[in-house]
Structure 1
């Protein structure tokens, strides 16, 4: 069986399918992927900026409280005693009132007995076993986050309902001759860290349910963050980078199985405050972050396919108009090959090649008619000076 050849119209049509659909799909996919990649980079950069700002504000806040305690300790050292308790208490109360971060400020003598404090809380109590007192007898000290112990029953609960937790600052007190006077200590309310993170998120428009800010210890334990993760150690590549002092932004899968854009920024201290090794982490649910991007990508792909379909439709019609004159001429040539010389060859001016082919078929038809006429018995012989059929004759108009 002779294999049927493809028509020019079908070749053109299927070629246009490839030329329209494939490039449009490739361009659409590339544009969609480019948009997604750009948004991912912007998300990483934005979260990195947010985490860095939170880390900087935490360092600045701790430095300011460190400076407060240094000034108060210098004043007590200049007095050389802890005997003027009323004046000192007024100063401590004023400082606590002006800076609500302070949950408690007090001075204990060398034995560990609290001599004076804000609002008289714990005055007379023995704090000699507390880490801040023991460290403060040796050098200026910043103590990491811990739950309230002696003050747990004396202060109102935290606004967020969590247990009271404090960060400590302690300064040694000494007379001018070097004789120890005791230790000045302060407990900073941890709600301050939450307020810092919330203020940064609000200014950046990131106070959303799918955006979380964390503060981690130098061991990677969650000090501040979602309640279900507090106290847990996070084993993530970003956290490991952060505890090593590396600033990083990436997309990674968390223990809950979800993918998050994650940025970490280590705190580095400020001035004489050397820092506690905290790491600030900010995460954004990747599905939520890319929701608008996914919709945009779908619109890009849809627009690409619509444009390809329109181009294909136009090309399909054009291919038909292009191949139709050749199909008509092919049919005329087929009739001539079967000896049908009565039906005229249709003229066409669709394009130069079709016009040339039509003219040639007309000339061929006329030549065949002349040849057949000269072969009939009753046909007169052609004169010797008869002119041949002109090759320049145009096909007759229909």
Structure 2
């Protein structure tokens, strides 16, 4: 009889140990797989957002230079060669990215240019003249032809330019062309800045800028520059096997220009080896599985040794686990005087703690994917999620579309690092707004967005809020290289949470353009707020 009792005890111990072990391993594996898939999505979105930020910066820079050339187009100084030469030399001194600027006559003869280079030469056969006789022309990256031997070139590498030229008219008659060659070194510097930031944050990462012509690589790894990429990719992020046989997490964004600059169709590609990009996923899964296996092993051993004593207490622990899943309790019961049961409860509680910590890590990565890297504000992805959640109720919200005035001058005068300091300070001031439930967002570049509940405010009260924000943002900002001040223009529109938010955002954007057109540094209310 005693022998039979021992065998039943052994069977019970094995059964309990095996059951607990399998349940723990299954639960741990399921959590790790789901957390890993979610984290992969967040990492991919973050890589895609990086490509979007870089292409936006390139388009904004080109728009800025385009605006400067258009401003020169209307100056009377260009009617006289001596005045033209002095003006162009001054512009080149202030904006060295213009490697060469010249004014031609109607036949393409250069009559005035920076440092006198190419004066007397005829550029009538070059696209920079031919394509700009009736409307502005912006040409894609190309190597120097006439200027290759005339401009200083310390690096020894082939000189590359982007063309910007506009026609010149007098009394309606075509007089010539204002032609400029913009050095492609500025693009390389922007890429290097992003590359340093990405290597610091994410390790090994490659950046590419591609032309619309046959996916030609304009910027990127030396061995690929000047060659077609050989891949067809859609905007967003993908795991792609590249021609070198390596799998890369790849994010791509095609530029759409900026304001009245339609863009050159450049695309930015950011790639990272899959094993590097998804290293946090593998680490998270390993941690979850390790904690789960250790806890399962401890639980199985305790079940093996203490089967005869834990039948009833185990039932209590099982019930507690169900309550814990429902959030009704947070700890397992500790039965005083029974050391083995207390050890089992502690082991299971450690497992829950470990899994909770793993989930906390996942939430942390999700937060990073929804935050602007520079300012810490919510980004476009976070705004989209926020608006989707807000649509569950019936509320009225005010949308402020904010664009900084004079920010480009800070970048041009003090450099991009100082410009970044200004954006960080602007974000801090938006965060400190006294509005209840205000939700500040950085959209891109120097564009911001602020969403808050209307709460019955009149359109005059909303206008005062906008004026207060403009006043706050316009205060002087100190940074390492000096002190500067920016203005702000705001477009405001009403969004009702039972309607599509995209329409309200567009109306706010249109109101912003009216603020810009009417002199900047002011708020314009859409008719949805005034009616």
Do these two structures clear the TM 0.5 threshold for a shared fold by scoring above it?
yes
1:298 aligns with 2:304: no
Instruction: Report if the CA contact (8 A) 2:45-2:236 is conserved.
Output: no
Q: Summarize deviations over 1:265-318 as a string: whole Å, max 9, x none.
A: 111112332111111111122211223432332222111111011101110012
Q: Which residue of the other structure, out of 187, 198, 206, is the alignment partner of 1:193?
A: 187
Match of 1:91 among 87, 97, 113: 87
Aligned to 1:175: 170
Local SS of the residue matching 1:262: strand
Is the partner of 1:25 in helix, strand or coil? Answer: helix
Q: Distance in 2 between matches of 1:322 and 1:272?
A: 76
Do residues 149 (structure 1) and 111 (structure 2) align? no
Q: Could you say what secondary structure the match of 2:306 adopts?
A: helix
Q: Call closer, same or farther: CA 1:131–1:208 in 2, change over 3 Å.
A: farther
Change (3 A) 1:233 1:299: same
In 2: Cα distance, 1:297 partner to 1:196 partner? 36
3-state SS of the aligned residue for 2:218? Answer: strand
Instruction: Please tell me whether the aligned partners of residues 171 and 185 of structure 1 are also in contact (alpha carbons under 8 angstroms).
Output: yes
User: After superposition, what is the alpha-carbon deviation per residue over 1:136-183, rounded to whole angstroms, capped at 9, x for unaligned?
Assistant: 113210101111111111223375x6421111011011112x221111
Q: Is the 8 A contact 1:43 1:261 kept in 2?
A: no
2:110 matches 1:122 = no
Task: Tell me what 2:224 maps to.
Answer: 229
Q: Against the structure 1 CA distance between its residues 44 and 206, is the aligned structure 2 distance closer, same or farther, given a 3 Å change threshold?
A: farther
Q: Residue 213 and residue 296 in structure 1: after superposition, are their counterparts in 2 closer, same or farther (change >3 A)?
A: same
Give unmatched runs, 5+ long, in structure 2: 312-531
Q: Distance between the aligned counterparts of 2:39 and 2:232, measured in 1?
A: 22
- Counterpart selection for 2:215 from 208, 216, 220: 220
Moved over 3 A (4+): 200-209, 320-323
CA contact (8 A) 1:261 1:284 kept: yes
Secondary structure of 2:223's partner?
helix
Q: With CA pairs under 8 Å and 6+ residues apart, which has the higher RCO, 1 or 2?
A: 1
- Per the TM alignment, residue 92 of structure 1 is displaced from its structure 2 partner at its CA by 1.0
What is the distance in 2 between the residues matched to 1:307 and 1:208?
A: 32
Q: Aligned to 1:227, what secondary structure does the other structure show? A: coil
Please report the TM-score for the alignment, with normalisation by the length of structure 1.
0.71
Determine if contact 1:9/1:322 at 8 Å carries over to the other structure: no
Native 8 Å contact 1:53 1:200 kept in 2: no
Aligned to 2:42: 42
**1:204: how far off?**
6.0
280, 287, 305: which one pairs with 2:275? Answer: 287
Residue-pair matches, total? 307
Supply the distance in 1 between the matched residues of 2:165 and 2:209 (Cα, whole angstroms).
22
Are residues 1:277 and 2:265 paired?
yes
Matched, 1:63 2:51: no
2:319 matches 1:319: no
Distance, in Å, in 2 between the alignment partners of 1:50 and 1:183 is 38
Inter-CA distance 63–322: structure 2 relative to 1 (3 Å threshold): closer
Residue 249, structure 1, aligned to residue 245, structure 2: no
SS at match of 1:69: helix
Inter-CA distance 297–201: structure 2 relative to 1 (3 Å threshold): same
- Change in Cα spacing, 1:322 to 1:184, as seen in structure 2 (3 Å) is closer
2:368 aligned partner: none
State which structure, 1 or 2, has the greater radius of gyration over its C-alpha atoms: 1
Q: 1:133 aligns with which of 129, 135, 139?
A: 129
CA separation in 2, counterparts of 1:172 and 1:52? 33
- Listed as ranges, the gaps of 5+ residues in structure 1 are 242-246, 324-398
Within a 5 Å distance, the mapping from 1:101-112 to structure 2 comes to 101-112=97-108
Q: Distance in 1 between matches of 2:161 and 2:201?
A: 25
